Amino acid sequence: MITLADAVNTAIIGKGLMIGGGFIGPGIGIGIIGGNYMAAVGRNPEASKFLGQALVFIAIIELFGLLAFASIFIVK
Amino acid sequence: MFNGLKIFGSGPAVYITPEKIFTIHGISITNSIFYGWIAGIILLVVFILVARRITVRPKGGLIQFVEVGVTYMSNLVESSFEDPERGAKYVPYFVSLFFFLLFNNWLGLLPGVGEAFQSHGNPLFRSFTGDLNATLAVGIVTMGLVYVASIKEAGLKDYLKHFFVGNPLNPMYLFLGMIEMTTDFTRVISLSIRLFLNVTIGEIVIAVFAYLGSFFAPLTAAPFTLIELFVGALQAYIFVILSVMYLAIAVNHATANHDQDLTDESVPETMRLQSEKA
């Protein structure tokens, strides 16, 4: 008897879900940071000097997306 | 999986693991260490040349590039500390760390790094920061410096105290402080994994798009190489600024006026009320 798991390469589906799910969170997070940064600059142009700090937080968030990307190589 | 060379089967060649290229007295030297040495030598030569020729009104692009970078990074390191005099002695390490990582990130993007030059079937060059061993080494050395320096600056008692927001004898603060302490050990891992993954995944993306472009590989890979130039500089900056912040938090806490602290006198207004109710 052939099950669905034999007929379909589930690893590829899993990889696709991992990439999609793993990138959506950091995407939203970086969007929130960027949006709030632009809102702060729009309200108070002096705030533009904090771009470096915003980038630090973006890098912290970005790590989770990269972890998801790295994990797809482990799924067989 | 990670021991194989080609991770995409018939796809583009992507190298995840460093490979041994020669041994010195039984210590195997991998291609990433070899390339790291090359980057270090280039860094030394460039910086010594620039330092010799430095003047009040510099001429030439390279000197200005180095000068702007050094000034920017040293201002950044010093301004992270509340007392810039204290921060001044950490400037040399962090600025050279920044340039070392920057050179390694950018040199890893050069053509010829990868499978172009081979030695015993393994690539001769490999970007230093695209190797987890290398970034772990950099992370361990940096965080070792941060721990030693913050204990030295703050004293062991104040250093331990900065984990706790209030009196450690309060069980809640004790528990929170314990959790705060465990996050200290994740810093090495998060610093090094962030750098490694950014560089390696950039390489993978460039390789994938060069492979997809086949005949037009330079056209399809060029935008991602440009993005990687930006990411390489950004990651070097972030590695340095995060480790400086870890150091500055411990040092500033020791030297700060304790007025604005969340000490037992200011916070437990509510706690006292609760205990009165009970």
- Residue A35 counted as domain residue: yes
Q: Which residues of A touch B234 (CB under 8 A)?
A: 55, 59
CA distance A41 to chain B (A): 21
Instruction: Report the distance separating Cα B124 and Cα B105, nearest Å.
Output: 17
**Looking at beta carbons, which residues of chain B come within 8 Å of A66?**
194, 197-198, 201
**What's the pLDDT score for residue B3?**
42
**Candidate from A59, A60, A74 with C-beta closest to B234:** A59
Query: What is the distance between the alpha carbons of residues B161 and B167, in angstroms, rounded to a whole number?
Result: 9
Mind giving me the DSSP string for B91-133? HHHHHHHHHHHHHHHHHTTSTTTEEEEEETTEEEE--GGGSHH
What is the distance between the alpha carbons of residues A11 and B74, in angstroms, rounded to a whole number? 48
In a domain, A8, yes or no: no
CA distance A56 to B237: 9
The pLDDT score that the predictor gives to residue B173 is 83
> Which structure tokens are listed for A57?
């937080």
Of B1, B190, B235, the CB nearest to A73: B1
Read out DSSP for B165-230? SS-TTSHHHHHHHHHHHHHHHHHHHHHHHHHHHHHHHHHHHHHHHHHHHGGGHHHHHHHHHHHHHH
**Cross-chain Cβ contact A73/B76 below 8 Å:** no
- SS3 call for B30: strand
Provide the percentage of residues in chain A whose pLDDT is more than 90: 28
- Residue A59 within a domain: yes
ipTM over 0.90: no
Cβ atoms < 10 Å from Cβ of B273: 10
Q: Tell me if A17 is assigned to some domain.
A: no
Is A53 contained in some domain?
yes
Please give the average pLDDT of every successive group of 10 residues along chain B, which has 278 residues. Answer: 48 73 80 88 89 75 82 85 80 90 89 74 81 89 88 80 76 84 85 89 85 82 89 90 85 62 51 51
Report pLDDT for A28: 95
Domain that holds residue A48: 24-76
Whether the CA torsion B91, B97, B99, B100 is positive or negative: it is positive
* A66:B76 CB<8 A: no
- Residues 2-61, chain A, touching B (beta carbon < 8 A): 52, 55-56, 59-60
**Strand (E) or helix (H) holding B234:** helix B217-255
Percent of chain B surpassing pLDDT 70: 86
Let me know: does B199 contact B235? Beta carbons within 8 Å. yes
Predicted model pTM:
0.80
Question: Which structure tokens are listed for B227?
Answer: 């993005």
Interface list for B 5-34 with A (CB within 8 A): 7, 16
How far away is chain B from the Cα of A66, in angstroms, using its nearest Cα? Answer: 6
Pick the residue from chain B with its C-alpha nearest to A63. B194
Q: How far is CA A2 from CA A9, A14, B44, B145, in A?
A: 13, 20, 63, 59
Does residue A15 lie in a domain region? no
Query: What separation in angstroms does the CA of B189 have from each of B34, B133, B139, B196?
Result: 23, 11, 8, 10
Q: In chain B, which residues have their Cβ closer than 8 Å to the Cβ of A12?
A: none
Residues A44-73 have a mean pLDDT of: 85
pLDDT digits (tens, 9 = 90+) for B183-226: 888 888 888 888 998 888 888 888 888 888 778 878 888 888 89
Whole-number Å distance between alpha carbons of B194 and B215: 33
Res B2: pLDDT: 44
Q: Which residues in chain B are closer than 8 Å to A67, comparing Cβ atoms?
A: 193, 197
More confident residue, A75 or A68: A68
Looking at beta carbons, which residues of chain A come within 8 Å of B132?
none
Q: Is residue A32 part of a domain?
A: yes
The beta-carbon neighbor of B194 closest among A52, A63, A76 is A63
Does position A6 have pLDDT exceeding 80, yes or no?
A: no
What's the confidence (pLDDT) of residue A41?
A: 93
- Domain count within chain A: 1
Residue A43 included in any domain = yes
pLDDT at B101: 92
